[in-house]
Amino acid sequence: MSESFVLQDKAQDSHGGIAGGIPAGCADCPLRGKGICAAVMDAKSGKQRRKSETTIRARHQIFRPGETPGRIAVIRSGWAARFTHVQDGRRQVLSILVPGDTAGAELVVFPSIRVPVQALTDVSYCSFDVAELKEIGVEDPSLVWAFLNICISGRKETEARLVDLGRRNAEQRLARLIAELHRRLRGRGLADETSMPFPLRQQAIADALGLTQVHVSRVMSSFRENNIVQVAGGRLSIMDMDALLDIAEIYRR
């Protein structure tokens, strides 16, 4: 259903305008021209500079609750998850972040982190200083619109997940998660037509879908037995896209 990432691919401005001002390391970045990066680099003032790229190991946290990092992260490679804990220690994953996604956008409004972000694989990300972004925003509202865009898209995505948890069974949830991830990765050139990188542990899937790891295993097994999807070597292959979308209740035009 919802597009998670509607950020319009802005006109390729690689050779025009502020070409000379492109921060080092962005030149070859596949995310250049999209999302926050596009908005920042389109900004009239040349103030903002990408902070140095940071790398963080799998299982470590990019943002910790209570922190006030003062910077927003754009994932450049690897997968991460935003999550919360409940009383008894179980987790709920709020969203899964793949390259091109933004973490910590709420810092524009709230100074401190309430939703920790954990790297699911080794992750490298670029940081943007919130204070600088705000300054730019004053002169150039298009940046703020870009934020609004990201925020509203993210909310749409969260709401889609809410419907899944409220009104769909485990098979549908899993089928939809897979289809959704595939669609997002495809849109960024990170997956081919029937397969994609898939570093998610079953526990992470369970935490995202409101299930237990054991049950995710069962549903996965049933998908495998029915030749619908298969996971091997860190990749997921969709063997029967029609069946998958059928279970997911996603209809192509």
Partner DNA sequence: CGTTGCGTTGAGTACCATCAACTGGGGTGG
Partner DNA sequence: CCACCCCAGTTGATGGTACTCAACGCAACG
Q: Which residues of 240-250 are buried (b: 16+ CB within 10 A; e: fewer)?
A: eeebbbebbee
Site for DNA in 171-210 (CB under 7 A): 171, 201-203, 210
Site for its own copies in 174-203 (CB under 8 A): none
Instruction: Tell the smallest beta-carbon distance from residue 217 to its own copies (Å).
Output: 18
Cα-based angle 47, 24, 191 (whole degrees, multiple of 5)? 110
Among 165, 192, 213, 227, binds its own copies (CB under 8 A): 165
Which candidate, 182, 162, 184, places its Cα nearest to that of 35?
184
Strand partners, 196: 236
Instruction: Tell the smallest beta-carbon distance from residue 208 to DNA (Å).
Output: 12
Which one of DNA, its own copies, none interacts with residue 202, CB within 5 to 8 A by kind? DNA
Determine, following the binding rule CB under 7 A, whether residue 170 of this chain makes contact with DNA: yes
Strand partners, 71: 129
Which one of DNA, its own copies, none interacts with residue 67, CB within 5 to 8 A by kind? none
* Cβ nearer to DNA, comparing 133 with 174: 174
> In whole angstroms, what is the distance from residue 80 CA to residue 90 CA?
18
The two tokens of residue 14 are 């690689």
Among 211, 228, 238, 244, binds DNA (CB under 7 A): 211
Site for its own copies in 74-133 (CB under 8 A): 84, 86-87, 90-92, 94, 105-106, 108-110, 114-115
Q: Which residues of 184-218 are buried (b: 16+ CB within 10 A; e: fewer)?
A: bbebeebbeeebbbbebebebbbbbbebeeeebee
SS3 label, residue 62: strand
The residues binding its own copies (CB under 8 A) are: 2, 6, 84, 86-87, 90-92, 94, 105-106, 108-110, 114-115, 137-138, 141, 144-145, 147-149, 151-156, 158-159, 161-163, 165-168, 207, 209-210, 249
